[in-house]
Each structure stands twice: as C-alpha cells, then as structure tokens.
Amino acid sequence: MKRKNVKIALVVLLGLVLCGGTVHQKSDCQKKAGTFLAGVLKGEVDKSYDELLLNTLMASKAQMVKMLKEQTRVGLNMYGELLGYEFIKQQKYGDSIVRLVYVLKLEQHPLTWEFHFYKAASDWKLANIQFNDKFDLLSDK
C-alpha cells in the first residue's frame, strides 16, 4: 500500500514539474503584455512601448513604432476614461509562438489587443502587436 502511495506521489510531482515549465513560459508572455497594458493605463504610452519592444526586430523600425505610439494615444482618447484591462485568451502555435488577446476597457467602448510572441532560443520576444476598436481580434485564428 505504501509503495502505491509513493508511486502516486511521484506521478503527481512529475506532472507538477512538467506543467510548471509550461505555465512559466505562458506567464512570461502574459507578464510582458500585462506590464505593457498597465503602463498604458498610467498614460505611459511611449515608455510602455519602449520596454515591450526592447531587443526586438520591431524596435529597429522607428517609423512603425512612432505610428503605433501615436495611434495608441488617439485610440485612448476616443472612448473616455480608462477603466482597466482584461486577459481574454492565449493560443499556442507549437512551442515557439504564442498569441495573447486582451481587452482594454474604456468608459464608452473597449479596445482589443493582440500580441504575438516568438521564442527562438530562450527568451520570448514580441513579434507583432495590434489593436483596434472592433471585435475581430477576439476570434480564434
């Protein structure tokens, strides 16, 4: 009987260790996206983008980054007071691409956000970001 309990405990422990690695990878991307959105809520649009894009290919595209920052400021001013953000879903594509969807809640209307992260070697890096005031980003892709 004790031997069976030990085996069960080992199986449970192994499962927790294996799942823990997956959860850690997911939470790293969610942490980056959440930190970005929390900064946007504070009105720190430029700083939030600069931190999110650090060491990414997107950071080298200065004109695109400038446009993203400006579009974000315009979008935030359209629908009233910022109320918070909500995580909607995560989709994994193999072991190296993760799609995260969030809603940034404003007084009059939400903005939906989509983040794609890519993991080539060891770090998750933002590969693409987009947002709009429609609901098309909420659907599975």
Q: Is 56 in contact with 36 (CB distance < 8 Å)? A: no
Q: How much is the mean pLDDT over the chain? A: 85
The yes/no answer on whether domain 24-138 falls in CATH 3.40.50.300 is no
Which of 107, 109, 105 minimizes the C-alpha distance to 85?
A: 105
* pLDDT digits 0-9 by tens, 43-88: 999 999 999 999 999 999 999 999 999 999 999 999 999 999 999 9
Q: Is 79 in contact with 109 (CB distance < 8 Å)? A: yes
- In sign, the C-alpha dihedral spanning 118, 30, 84, 45 is negative
CA distance 58 to 65: 7
In this prediction, residue 113 carries a pLDDT of 98
Q: Which of 15-24, 38-47, 54-63, 89-98 has the lowest mean pLDDT?
A: 15-24
User: Using alpha carbons only, how large is the chain's radius of gyration in Å?
Assistant: 19
Domain boundaries defined on the chain: 24-138
